[in-house]
Structure 1
Amino acid sequence: MPSQTRIRRLAVLGSRFLTVGAISTVIEIAVFNLLHYALGTDLIVAKIVASLVALVNAYFGNREWTFRHRGQHGRVLELVLFLVVNAICTLLGAGIVAVGVGMLASPGPVLVNVVNLVSIVIVVFMRFLFYHFVVFRGVRPSATVGTAGERSGR
């Protein structure tokens, strides 16, 4: 496959991933602020719960839109890999928030949200790599097209 075609496909994949991620990010930030500031939930608990709520949107958005043509795993293995990857990424995000907020002299809502956004950016990059190379890897047999010049997916 020519490199321009690969780059174009990766750009489309990345754009879809970022769209799903943007929606999930809005969900995560809203839930985080609702839990921590409106309901008084502990900072780290609010971060973990918010990440898990956004995760539901992320799974279905990425499975059914971004990576719909990929993934040779069965649904159960795919879901297990997705959950393991996201457990790692959720803990990474919570760790970044804990360390970042701990370094602040007076962590008000704006600075806490800045730290939270930094954690989200880092975790989004890690998730894309994991989704692309681990969770939704390979072409689904049902998505293959037998035309000349295309790969068979196996």
Structure 2
Amino acid sequence: MRRLIAQLARFGVVGAVGFVVDTTVFNVLRITVLDPDEVHSGPFWAKVISTVVAIFVNWMGNRYWTFREQRRAVATREGIEFVVVSLGGMVIALACLGVSHYVMGLTSVLADNVANIVGLVLGTVFRFWLYKVWVYHPERTGSEPVATDVAHEGRALDSTG
């Protein structure tokens, strides 16, 4: 249980960094080159670009920190699976933005950011679950999680004297 909590905390930190990257890139693009007054689908494309950048940042953080004990020796398949799951999270975020901006007509910067945050939260839950049970699952990565519960620690202490 402590291992899961620590992993969730690391995932949260990586996610927070990814959130800052995503939100910053989204807003910079939305208010400059992809301003909806100039490019009708600007917020949509700003979200796609910001998500792609954040996916890369998150993969590096999760591969080398959150799920470091379970990462694969060869990163190619893991990276592809990570991107697939992350794109699923992006679809969730884009759906929230699309409904808010294009269906409900809430087109202000604030409304786009609220929709972005709602989408990121829903996408985060989706991604963590699939990273845990699919991308970095110990049976798929060939590694077993490091035991950190009290019973295992007690045995380790007994064997050292």
TM range (shorter): 0.7 to 0.9
Partner letter of residue 8 of structure 2?
A: G
What is the match of residue 13 of structure 1? 7
Partner letter of residue 98 of structure 1?
A: G
Q: Deviations over 1:6-40 (max 9, x none)?
A: 2x111100000000000000000000011111222
What is the match of residue 29 of structure 2? 35
Tell me: CA distance 1:65–1:106, structure 2 relative to 1, closer, same or farther (3 Å): closer
What is the match of residue 84 of structure 2? 84
Tell me: CA distance 1:143–1:106, structure 2 relative to 1, closer, same or farther (3 Å): closer
Distance in 1 separating the partners of 2:53 and 2:91: 14
Partner letter of residue 16 of structure 1?
A: R
8 Å CA contact 1:32, 1:47 repeated in 2: yes
Q: Deviations over 1:14-69 (max 9, x none)?
A: 00000000000000000001111122251111101100001111000000000001
Distance in 2 separating the partners of 1:40 and 1:103: 19
What is the match of residue 67 of structure 1? 67
Partner letter of residue 100 of structure 1?
A: S
Deviation larger for 24-33 or 67-76? 67-76
Question: Which consecutive residues of structure 2, in runs of 5 or more, have no partner in the other structure?
Answer: 36-41, 154-161
8 Å CA contact 1:72, 1:137 repeated in 2: no
Larger Rg: 2
8 Å CA contact 2:70, 2:144 repeated in 1: no
TM-score (normalised: structure 1): 0.82
Deviation larger for 95-104 or 29-38? 95-104
What is the match of residue 137 of structure 2? 137
Tell me: CA distance 1:135–1:142, structure 2 relative to 1, closer, same or farther (3 Å): closer
8 Å CA contact 1:92, 1:123 repeated in 2: yes
What is the match of residue 18 of structure 2? 24
Distance in 2 separating the partners of 1:27 and 1:74: 26
Distance in 2 separating the partners of 1:73 and 1:137: 14
What is the match of residue 95 of structure 1? 95
What is the match of residue 158 of structure 2? none
CA RMSD of aligned residues (A): 2.3
- Post-superposition shift, 1:141? 3.9
- Post-superposition shift, 1:76? 1.7
Distance in 2 separating the partners of 1:105 and 1:144: 50
